[in-house]
Amino acid sequence: MTLVPYDDRDGWIWFDGTFVPWREAKVHVLTHALHYASAVFEGERMYAGEIFHLTDHTRRLFRSAEILDFEIPYTLAEIDQACKDTCARNDLEDCYVRPIAWRGSEVMGVAAQASRIHVAIAAWSWPSYFDPAQKAKGVALTWAKYRRPAPDTAPTEAKAAGLYMICTLSKHAAERQGFADAMMLDWRGYVAEATGANVFFVRDGVLHTPIPDCFLSGITRRTVIEIARSRGFEVVERHIEPSELETFAECFIVGSAAEVTPVAQVGEYTFTPGNISLSLMDDYSRLVRGGLEVAQGAAVAS
């Protein structure tokens, strides 16, 4: 596979309100975000010309910025429009969309209240997060080295760049051992999520998923809960002990990039992608293209 570097591609990137040629969308090395992780971002997908749950993603971007103590200098509607414009400008109808907001170069040092806040949006074709051949059979995960931090240790509700350091390290270690990803526990030792996706388990026709009280509350997770409930499945949101994995028949991970991906293994536990995982995978792919109606509000915790 030839690697096409992300800074050397054709196209246009929305950068602080205007489109700049892809290769010119640069920041200075003395950028606060690069040194102190003062950046928040989103990961979205456009399907057949529509960005799925666009405004939910934009709202989360603004909320993440607020949690990181900065204000995005645009309105929500402007960022929504800029995401759509970025896809249009690059002639993309099925793609991944990456908005990012960060502190600039005006101030160096931990405190940087006077720094300018920048926003950029890029979009590119990104067909499958996991190897498509592997996806249907279920991907193999190992346990991550790092745990999701407690909410009083880090701003866990934000989709903040700094929180991904432990994800990159955990996923690298997993890949080196031949796994597709790593499953992270939380600070208490409960099962939390994969490095870029939330997790569901199935036992006796009931879905179980961890409560997102110290990790990202995924938009796909909420969507999958809505689909499952509208299909008549019971969904239980609760703390899950790692030893319980022995008792689950199916497992799958969900996220805007990962979509619904069946899991065949988490460490010492194995699963067989079955009817529920595969039908939710199918339902999700129809929903995102407007081919499935789901009752709104079905994701409200019962």
**Chain residues that interact with ligand PMP, rule: CB under 6 A:** 43, 193, 196-198, 216, 218-221, 255-256
Minimum CB distance to ligand PMP, residue 250 (Å): 19
Q: What residues have CB less than 8 Å from 5, skipping those under 6 apart?
A: none
Minimum CB distance to ligand PMP, residue 106 (Å): 29
CA pair distance 189, 63, nearest whole angstrom: 27
Q: Do the beta carbons of residue 287 and residue 299 sit within 8 Å?
A: no
Q: Which residue number, 116 or 289, has a Cβ lying nearer to ligand PMP?
A: 289
In our burial notation (b when 16+ CB lie closer than 10 A, e otherwise), range 105-144 reads beeeeeebeebebbbbbbbbeeeebbeeeebeebbbbbbb
* CA angle 250–280–238, rounded 5-degree value: 55
* CA angle 140–235–277, rounded 5-degree value: 35
Q: Which residue number, 112 or 260, has a Cβ lying nearer to ligand PMP?
A: 260
Burial of 182 from C-beta contacts in 10 A (0-12 / 13-18 / 19+): buried
User: Is 145 tagged catalytic?
Assistant: no
Q: Give the count of alpha carbons within 13 A of 226, CB side only.
A: 18
Q: Which residue number, 23 or 286, has a Cβ lying nearer to ligand PMP?
A: 286
CA pair distance 195, 282, nearest whole angstrom: 23
Q: Residue with structure tokens 């209240």?
A: 113
Task: Out of 84, 135, 159, 171, pick the active-site residue.
Answer: 159
Q: Which residue number, 197 or 245, has a Cβ lying nearer to ligand PMP?
A: 197
Minimum CB distance to ligand PMP, residue 107 (Å): 28
Q: Which residue number, 138 or 210, has a Cβ lying nearer to ligand PMP?
A: 210
Q: Which residue number, 72 or 197, has a Cβ lying nearer to ligand PMP?
A: 197
Q: What residues have CB less than 8 Å from 94, skipping those under 6 apart?
A: 45, 46, 47, 48, 125
Minimum CB distance to ligand PMP, residue 169 (Å): 13
CA pair distance 137, 153, nearest whole angstrom: 37
Q: Which residue is nearest to ligand PMP (CB)?
A: 218
Is residue 116 helix, strand or coil?
A: coil
Residues acting as catalytic residues = 159
